[in-house]
Amino acid sequence: MSRPPPRPWRSDGIGRRTSRLGKNTSGLLLTITENKQKMSCFKFLKIVMFVVNGIIFLAGGAILGVGIWVKVDAGSFIDILAKAAPQLKQIVNVGYLCIALGAFLLVIGFLGCYGAVKENKCMLMIFFIIILLIFIAQVAGAVVILAFSGLADVFISYIQVWAVNSIKKDYGQVSDITTIWDTVMKEFKCCGFNSYKDFANSSSYYLTSKYPDDCCRTPYPCSLTGIDHNVPGCYSQLLNFLKSHTKILGIVALVICILEMGAMAASMILYCQIKKQEQTV
């Protein structure tokens, strides 16, 4: 009885399986590469968020410490600045502003730094919302100033009323208000908000019968007869300062907006990536 002839060797099945295996392997390698790239980008964003917000946190702590020091022991602080940097002595006039700004920077820096390191979605979202609100406020302010001049005029008139009232009621009575106005008038070489007439009928004039030294040609004593009528009001001087530094202010505003958008983008990317990782687990 004769044996049946052997079947011919067919390699097409093995070839197809080998081809599919090669495709699967290459797809797996491509997926692994993409995942590594995503993880590298994720780690890079975490490092950037940690470093930037860490710097903000430290700066906020320093500003807060200076503000508290100024309000608690202004005398020793002035003595140190007088020896180290006399031009910085005006910091004592904005102690509360330093405290508020330092506390705000501390909160922002902590949310961004801790949220990125611990991959905390809640802190990252709060950080994103705060930066977004600041960004919206800046854009809204710019739109109001550029497009709605009537509203800008109302805002300026409100500031004018507040400034004149602070001169008439608080100048010479409240130390912080007095030092702030003295600093502004000295730096901008101006007198009052509109002119020296803002000090007429003020509490300070009733008590001393004198005007601030910056309003007169001869500073001691500064009476009505010694008023220098060529000294402009601080409002006009401030407008001239803003006009002469428009480009610098525009560049600073643009850089701040870019940094804010970058912070929002980084925090939202981290938030989405953390959320995606939690869903895949």
pLDDT confidence of 122, banded at 50, 70, 90?
very high
* Residues 2-43 pLDDT 10s: 555 555 544 455 555 555 545 555 555 555 555 556 667 778
- Give the residue among 256, 277, 273 at the shortest CA–CA distance from 45: 273
Confidence of residue 129 (pLDDT cuts 50, 70, 90): very high
Give the model's pLDDT for residue 131.
93
pLDDT of residue 20: 55
pLDDT tens readout for residues 166-189: 899 989 888 778 888 888 898 888
Higher pLDDT, 69 or 23: 69
Percent of the chain past pLDDT 90, that is, above it, reads: 17
Question: Is pLDDT at 151 greater than 80 in this prediction?
Answer: no
The pLDDT confidence band at residue 126, using thresholds 50, 70 and 90, is very high
pLDDT score at 110 = 94
Task: Decide which of 10 and 213 is more confident.
Answer: 213
Residues facing 216 on adjacent strands: 227
Q: List CB contacts of 172: < 8 A, sequence separation 6 or more.
A: 178, 202, 203, 204, 207, 208
The more confident residue out of 207 and 249 is: 207
Q: Is the pLDDT of residue 205 over 80?
A: yes
pLDDT one-digit tens code per residue, 219-267: 677 887 888 888 899 988 888 887 788 788 788 888 888 989 999 999 9
Res 204: pLDDT = 85
Q: Quote the Cα angle for 18-23-25, to 5°.
A: 90
pTM of the model: 0.66
Q: What is the mean pLDDT of the segment spanning 61-88?
A: 67
Say which residue, 48 or 151, is predicted with more confidence: 48
pLDDT in tens, 34-66: 555 666 777 888 888 899 999 999 999 998 888
Query: 192: burial class by Cβ within 10 Å (0-12, 13-18, 19+)?
Result: buried
Q: Domain 170-244: give its CATH superfamily.
A: Tetraspanin (1.10.1450.10)
Q: For the chain, what is the radius of gyration of the CA atoms?
A: 33
Q: What is the pLDDT of residues 183-200, one digit of tens each?
A: 889 888 899 999 989 988
Buried b / exposed e across 140-163, counting CB within 10 Å, b at 16+?
A: eeeeeeeeeeeeeeeeeeeeeeeb
pLDDT value, residue 94: 66
Per-residue confidence (pLDDT) for residue 55, from 0 to 100: 92
**pLDDT, mean over the chain:** 79
Taking the C-alpha atoms of residue 205 and residue 212, their distance in angstroms, rounded to an integer, is 9
